[in-house]
Copies of this chain bind each other. A is one copy, B any other.
């Protein structure tokens, strides 16, 4: 088990206030900016899906080899909510966040970062599983 970091992933949640209405109601532009944000952060885009709501608002997800980016926009509130979840050391989720601050022309950005998949918890359950397996084998041996 190779868990050298404290956690498997970094999850950055960004709320963008005071965005430019015309930008965040434009489905094509939002999709383009999200793909560019993934590129800019160094991620490899695998698949993506975007949906334009009636009368307004875009929701989308970009699956990257290193996890995902998502966006939801509320043009009526000049507001957009973005998530960038990355694993490994090669992609910096904050670069994607910075890229979108500029592109969405946000006046205020609130960013929260959370670790995902804490290594010590993963190890604890892996150890437990190995112990269970060993006990089962020993029980089978003694029964045989």
Interface residue ranges, A against B (CB under 8 Å): 1, 3, 8-9, 11, 13, 15, 17-18, 46-49, 51, 53, 59-61, 63, 65, 67-68, 70, 72, 74, 76-79, 81, 83, 85, 87, 107-108, 110, 112, 114, 116-118, 121-122, 124-126, 128-129
Q: Are A121 and B13 closer than 8 Å at their CB atoms?
A: no
Copies in the complex: 2
A72 nearest in chain B by CB position: B67
Q: Which residues of B are found within 8 Å of A126, using beta-carbon distances?
A: 77-78
Q: Are B17 and A125 closer than 8 Å at their CB atoms?
A: yes
Complex-state Cα separation, A48 to B48, whole angstroms: 9
Known contacts A51-B46, A85-B81, A126-B78; A121 and B61 CB within 8 A of each other? no
